[in-house]
Amino acid sequence: MEGSINDLAGVENGEVTNISALFGTFYEKGWSGYVDLDFSAEAQNDTYIVGYRNDTESQLYEFSGRNQSGKTITYVHNGTDAERNTTTGEVTYGEQPFADFVLLYAQAFISNAEILEWETAGTTTVDGEPRYVLESKSVNDTAAENKEYDVRSSNTTVDARLTVDGDGMIRSGDFTLTNEGEGIEMTFTLDTSERITVTQPDWYDEDEARTAAE
């Protein structure tokens, strides 16, 4: 690794002092430009899945959530957008201005990381790329109280891990939080390389899209 773990936002003298600063970079820079985000969470017997791919020309959103047997796929490209329900097979053409709303689901779950107590835990290698490792085994009671969360270190078990690249970008996360018999399990990965491409879905009809845009 070039540099030091102290170069990461929110890390000083080898200690995590402000995890929110690190996630600020994650949301502001990691979710713009070239992006390939895969996120899944299980909570109270419901599974949420979010996929987001952006090659700066087109975007593809995938979402599956509570009481949804299939998933919703939204393809955004030059205002000739389309959304498909995989359960019914129905495709709706026209501008989809709220397509990125599905990212709020992922952010809502991932924000739980900001109420945890984090420690640096050395380095690892993923696909040949060196990464810093952060781990959490408990709730930060002050942070939880400030956010008006009910969880506390005394009633919640935590097993969480983040990997961060040398540029200070969070690349993956695995979380298990259990509180009074109920729990959240979530995982995510993030790629921001310029090799990312968005392929037009095979169900997308360009003639239908042009007609809807006129």
Distance from C-alpha of 114 to C-alpha of 151, rounded to nearest angstrom:
12
pLDDT of residue 180: 81
- What tens digit of pLDDT does each residue of 58-103 get? 999 999 987 777 899 999 998 789 999 998 999 999 988 899 999 9
**Structure tokens, 171:** 């690349």
Assign 34 a pLDDT band (cuts: 50, 70, 90).
very high
In a domain, 1, yes or no: no
Q: What is the mean pLDDT of residues 194-209?
A: 93
Find the DSSP H helices in the chain.
Answer: 19-28, 103-110, 141-146, 206-213
Which amino acid, 149?
Y
In a domain, 181, yes or no: yes
* Domain around 171: 11-191
Q: What SS3 state is found at 45?
A: coil
pLDDT of residue 182: 85
Assign 212 a pLDDT band (cuts: 50, 70, 90).
confident
pTM: 0.92
Q: Which residues contact 168 (CB under 8 A, 6 or more apart)?
A: 7, 8, 9, 22, 25
Distance from C-alpha of 57 to C-alpha of 54, rounded to nearest angstrom:
7
How many domains are contained in the chain?
1
Q: What is the DSSP letter of 34?
A: S
Q: What is the mean pLDDT of residues 157-175?
A: 96
In a domain, 210, yes or no: no
> Is 80 exceeded by the pLDDT of residue 183?
yes
In a domain, 214, yes or no: no
